[in-house]
Structures are given as C-alpha cells and as structure tokens.
Structure 1
Amino acid sequence: MKLKITFLSFAFLTSFHAFSQNTYVFLGSYNKDKTAESIQVYELDSLNGNLIKITSAKDIINPSYLTVSPNGKYVYACTDTKTPNSGSVSSFEFNPENKSLTFLNKQGSGGENPVYVSVHKSGKWLVNANYTEGSVSVHPLLENGKIDSIAQNFQYTDGSVHKERQTRSHVHSAIFSPEFDYVLLPDLGADKIRCYRFDETLKQPLTETKNTFTKTDLEAGPRHFTFHPNQKYGYCIEEISGSVSVYQYESGSLTKIQRINTYSGETKGVLESSDIHISPDGKFLYASNRGKENNIAIFSIAKNGILKNIGYQSTFGNHPRIFAIDETGNFLIATNVNSGNVIVFKRNPKTGLLNKTGNEIKMENVSCVQIKKIQ
C-alpha cells in the first residue's frame, strides 16, 4: 500500500510539474548587432522561478519593447528604436511546441524611436507610441499575424516647462482601457495623458473624445500607465518627478485623487522612474526607479485606490527599465539595461514584498520583459 501511495504521489507531482511549464518569458534588448540574439524566449518554471532558454531571434535592430498577442501565437516588437530617421514595428510567430520564434514582417512605425506597442483584445489591431517626435500609429493585424500598413497616425508638437526633457511632445506608451474602448497616451514631453475613443469596427478606429487629454502636474513626465483589476482606478508613473499619480477612471475620463513619490526620502532630483504594474489580486502596486536608486518601490492599495508605500526592493542591477508580473502573481521579473541582467523575484502574496530567488540570466542591453501563459 505504501508503494502504491508513493507511486500515485510521484505521478501527481510529475503531472503538476509538467502542467506548470506553459509560461513563457520574452526578452527584448537595445542591440544594434544583427548577429546577436536580440529577442530571447525562456520557459518559466512556475514552481521555483527557473528560466530555461528555448529560442531566440536575430537579424533585427533594437527590439526595445515587446508585447504578445492575446492568443500567444505572435510577438510584436518596437524595432529600429534609437535609430536616427528610422523606426519600425515587427511581428514574429511563436511556436512553443517547435520552440521557434519566426520573423514575419515589419512596417514603418510612423515616427522615430518607437517605444511601446499594444495589441487589441481581438488580435486585429496594433497601436504603437513613437517617442522622439511624439506620435501614435494604428496598424491593422492580418490573420496570419503580419502587420499591415498604417491606418492612422497622429503627431503632436506641444511641450511643457522642463528645458531639457520637454521641448516637445514625447508619447511614451499606448494603453488600452480595461474594456478596450479607449486608448490612453501618456505624453512625457507635454505633461498630458491623451485619450482617444477606440472603435474596432472602423477602418480608422481612433476618434477624438470630448476631453482629449488630462493635464498632469508640470515637470511630471508621464510615462507608463496601468489600470486596477476592478477597472475603477488608473495609475500613471511619472519619469521626471519620480511620482505615481492615482486617478479615478470612468469611460475614458481621469480624475486625480493622489500623488505619491516612488523613491525614498533620501534621494532628490530626477529619478528616471520607469515602469508600473499591479499584482493580479489588486492589492499591491510596483514601480521601478532607475539611475540613483535602481529599485522597485512597493505600495499597498486601499479599497478606495489610495497608495501607501511599504518598502523598496533592489533590482540587483543598473537601470531597471521594464519589469513584469506573471499571471499567477507569484513571480516578478526585472530587466536591468546597463548591467545586462535579468532577476527573478518571488512575490509574497500576503505582504507584497519581493525576495530574490537566485535565478538570474545575462542578456546584453536587456530592455524589456513580457510574461505569457499559453494553453
């Protein structure tokens, strides 16, 4: 009887371990060397946080930001970033069974230095933000995953008060609303969060709203934005000021209810605050600081959306540009551009705090991470 129980237990554990191996980590980089593995894909062991490399892609320049299609079949990247008079968005087909990442095509991004790309829940539209001259482009997506030519492009010229960083518009991200019926565009250069209605049935899906933008504090530098799972609140990280602004959200409209620093009181000046994410349970918010602190600020979220700082976690590297939380909420993975290392943290669901797992990989100029569970 003891042998039978042991065998059944072993079978169960083996089955559970196999089931846990369908979460993938996609890494992009600032890499002008076409012979380098500029995109790398790893399998995340959801039991211990180990990363197992399965494939990569070459022959592309600076795939600095990535996103994965809702069905997990395609990867879309901002490419030719930080390249004068250039900028593109590229598509790849991901096949986990064959362990392959195959280049499909690329299109001009409609502006120089694309920095963010989002895909509509239908998988039929792609929106990308171009930083340098401040613009947003919309591309149809074909059934085979390829990117079609630009359907819409809006460019902006207004700036704000910071003499070095805000001489003109710098759109830094393009975020779909929870219902995918609006697109929010944090504009670092203009101190605005622009907003458009998005109608997926139209050939040109972006249409203007009554309130075309929300004005942020001066010299804030809005960069990235995330929504609470309850869809009532939105959170914008501000790069120049090193702050997070909290908004009540309703049908494309934002009303600010709080502003809180992302950095410790010991640090002053521009913090280069970068990325922002909320745990799947909606209880904790995480925000990364580059440069002087190189850490992730951790906040608890009250029922009314208000943030309270509960700690900081070093990213054990230099310049944590992008991080991601897996769909279970068990792991947070941070990318450090200047030190070229990727760190896996175990997240405590009760306290929100992070612990280093000991799992680390090296990737030169690593700039982005996305995590996707694929059934």
Structure 2
Amino acid sequence: MGDTGVGRAFIGSFTSAGGPGVVAASVDTGTGALTATAATRSVTDPSYLAATDSVLYAVSETADGAVAAFDITGGALRPLGEPVPVDGHSPTHLALAGARLLTAHYGSGSVSVLPLRPDGSPGPVSSVVRYEGRGPDPDRQTRPHAHQALPDPSGRWMLAVDLGADAVRVHALDTVTGTPAAHRTTALPPGTGPRHLAFHPGGRHAYVLGELEPTLTVCRWDDRNGTLEPVAAHRVLPDGAAGPAYPSALVVAPDGRRLWAAIRGHDGIAVLDLDETAEEAQLVATVPCGGHWPRDLALDPSGRRLYAANERSGDVTWFHVDQATGIPQPTGSLPVPAASCVVLT
C-alpha cells in the first residue's frame, strides 16, 4: 500500500444548491481518507477545479462566468485577487496549459484563454474561440455546448469537447501567445453528446465519454499532425441496464491497463479493461458510486485510490482499487453538500 503520509484534496460544490463552495481536505495516503480542513464561499458555484502545487483554480458556473484563484501554500484558501470574467456563459471546465488557463463554456459554446501572472493569478481573457453547430437531440443539442477544453500531453494542441455538436475540435496552440488556431474537427456519432475526454498515458490514444448516450469512443491521437481518429465505440453499461444514464467523468489508470467512468442516473462507476493496443475496451463491472449522481472522479497517482464526487447525495466517497481486477471497493466518505468536483495534489 505504500508509506502512510498526508496529501491534499480540493472539492468544488454548488453554492446555489447549499454547497460550501471550495473545500480543502487532507488525505491520509495510507487509507485514502479525507478530512476537511478549510472552506470558502467566496466564489459562486465553483463547479470545476484545477491545481498546481501552489495555486488552486475554480470556475464559477454562472450565467456571467468567471474564474478564481487561491494561494494554497499555507494550508488555507487565500484568494489571489477577485474572480476574473471569462467572456463566456456557464463555464463547466478549466485546465492549465503552460502559463495559461483554458475555460470551456457550456452556455455560450465557447472556449477562452487567460494568461497567468507571475503569482499564478489569471489575467484578463486574451482570446476566445466561439463554435457553431448542433446535434439531433431537440433538448440538449440545439446549439454548441463546449463542455471541456484541455491541452494534449505534448502541449502543442488544445482539444475542445462539444456536447451540442457531437464533435471534438482540435486547435494548434501558439507556443508564444497560447492563442488557439482552428485545425480540424472530429465528428462523433450523432446524439452521443460527448462530455469528457481523457488521454492514455502513452499519449497515442484518447477516450471520449458521451453524456447523452452511455458510450466510450476510443480514438487514436497523432500529436505530430493534430489528428484525432475514432476507431471503436463501447457501451459503459451492461446490456439491459434499467433507467436513464448520463455519464459524466472519466479517469485512466497510470499504467494504461484500465479506465473508470462515472454514470449519473445509474449511480455507478463502470470499470473497463484496456488491451495492449489501448484500442479495445472491455466492460468488466459496474459498481455503486457510494451516493447519488456522481459528477466527477479523481484517481490518486498510484492508481490505488478512486474518489467520486456525488452531487445529489452531497458527499465524496473514496474507494480502494483492487489492482488485479480494477474493481473499486468503498472505504469511506466525506459529507460535502452539492459536491461537483474533486482534485488531488
């Protein structure tokens, strides 16, 4: 199990639904247990987080949209200035790309780039990419909905996952300014509603999780040419599974042997094994998420602990991952009303 020590976790929650905002927690690295140590409601609806060793970033998923930064070096959550507007509506995701932040905006179907100052705080938006398009779902796909934007492992490209248009949009990132330049668009099966993308640790494959259809699309990724090529699709639920299912988040094992997907509605975590090519995925099991409406997953660096942020039951559950089977076994939970995201540092 490794030596016992203390790590850090940060949890985002919807303040509009009674959440405490951003919660800092200590992590017992021997057991995986979380203990809340600090919290702040200085940001409205901090639904998604990203962190370095010294700075935590949170999007404010509001109609206006903003991003906030906190100094986390002293164990507290010290704001680094006021939240900065992102020039987009209802941001749902942010990611670090070198000395910049990328924010994806579900409401406006756009992605913004914000440069980071020397202290790590975000400056004003330097560029915005706005998308067009739609999908067949009359309720969820009448216009573009950028749900995620992240750099590829090489740092040369940005990939934006558009739930509204059933597409992943690839952009070249300017090495000096960080400005994204449209490169190509990869179409995914109509009506799948892609929400979340994760890279294989080998850097040659990416996995895209659909929200409107419980599917995982396996793609080859070429970082020389910036091409994303779908090669296979797999269901993340067993045949005959009852009830609605809205997959939300995806994590890949550090050794690249398997991945896990959170599924809202079904209230489960799907376990899929990957073969040596990283292109064939086999559904091994689905297990209860430990609560209701799992919105996010996080995996510790060892791949032995998995965390699920369960929004509607208001808790973060942690699991021990069986290294032979990949099946998560619940070992504890921390109450966090309206939990939406969990990150480990």
Task: With the length of structure 1 as denominator, give the TM-score of the two structures.
Answer: 0.88
Q: Quick one: percent identity of the two aligned structures? A: 27
How many angstroms apart in 1 are the aligned matches of 2:244 and 2:214? 7
2:54 pairs with 1:77? no
How many angstroms apart in 2 are the aligned matches of 1:312 and 1:267? 10
Out of 29, 42, 60, the position equivalent to 1:46 is 29
2:337 pairs with 1:370? no
SS for the counterpart of 1:167 is coil
The count of aligned residue pairs is: 340
How many angstroms apart in 2 are the aligned matches of 1:109 and 1:151? 10
Q: Deviations over 1:41-82 (max 9, x none)?
A: 11111111121222222222100000002xx10011111x1x
Give the counterpart letter for 1:253 in structure 2. T
Give 1:154's aligned residue. 129
Give 2:221's aligned residue. 249
Give 2:90's aligned residue. 113
CA RMSD of aligned residues (A): 1.6
Change in Cα spacing, 1:268 to 1:52, as seen in structure 2 (3 Å) is: closer
- Report which of the two has the higher share of strand: 2
Give 1:89's aligned residue. 67
Give 1:336's aligned residue. 310
Give 1:345's aligned residue. 319
Structure 2 segments unaligned to the other structure (5+ residues): none
Give 2:80's aligned residue. 104
1:32 Cα offset (Å): 2.8
SS for the counterpart of 2:71 is strand
How many angstroms apart in 1 are the aligned matches of 2:255 and 2:133? 38
Give 2:293's aligned residue. 319
How many angstroms apart in 2 are the aligned matches of 1:103 and 1:309? 43
Out of 13, 16, 37, the position equivalent to 1:29 is 13
SS for the counterpart of 2:80 is strand
- 1:33, 1:61 within 8 Å by CA — same for their partners in 2? no
Give 1:265's aligned residue. 239
- 1:57, 1:102 within 8 Å by CA — same for their partners in 2? no
Give 1:232's aligned residue. 204
- Aligned pairs for 1:167-178 (under 5 A) are 167-178=142-153
SS for the counterpart of 1:100 is coil
Structure 1 segments unaligned to the other structure (5+ residues): 1-14
Q: Deviations over 1:15-44 (max 9, x none)?
A: 953xx21x211100011389x631111111
SS for the counterpart of 1:32 is helix
Task: With the length of structure 2 as denominator, give the TM-score of the two structures.
Answer: 0.95
